[in-house]
């Protein structure tokens, strides 16, 4: 296989699970050769947020400015 049309035809012939593996492979090549394991784990960004003001008090103050 040397043309895009041949590659596309071969990809169309693959079963769905193989197409998914091919997609992950191509994505890893496009995104810098890193392994893809699905969506990013947002849990690594979890932490504690300390607010200088009570959110309800802030909301009431801001809404009061709109009146």
Q: How far is CA 42 from the centre of its chain?
A: 10
pLDDT in tens, 3-61: 999 999 999 999 999 999 999 888 888 877 655 556 677 777 788 788 899 999 989 98
pLDDT of res. 46? 81
pLDDT of res. 34? 59
* pTM, to two decimals: 0.45
Q: What are phi and psi of 19, to 5 degrees?
A: -65, -40
The more confidently predicted of residues 65 and 57 is 57
Q: Hey, is 47 helix, strand or coil?
A: coil
pLDDT of res. 16? 93
């Amino acid at each position: 296989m040397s043309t895009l049309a041949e590659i596309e035809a071969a990809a169309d012939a693959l079963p769905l699970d193989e197409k998914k593996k091919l997609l992950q492979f191509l994505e890893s090549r496009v995104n810098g050769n890193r392994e893809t394991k699905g969506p990013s784990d947002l849990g690594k960004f979890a932490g504690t947020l300390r607010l200088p003001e009570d959110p309800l008090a802030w909301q009431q103050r801001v809404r009061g400015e709109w009146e």
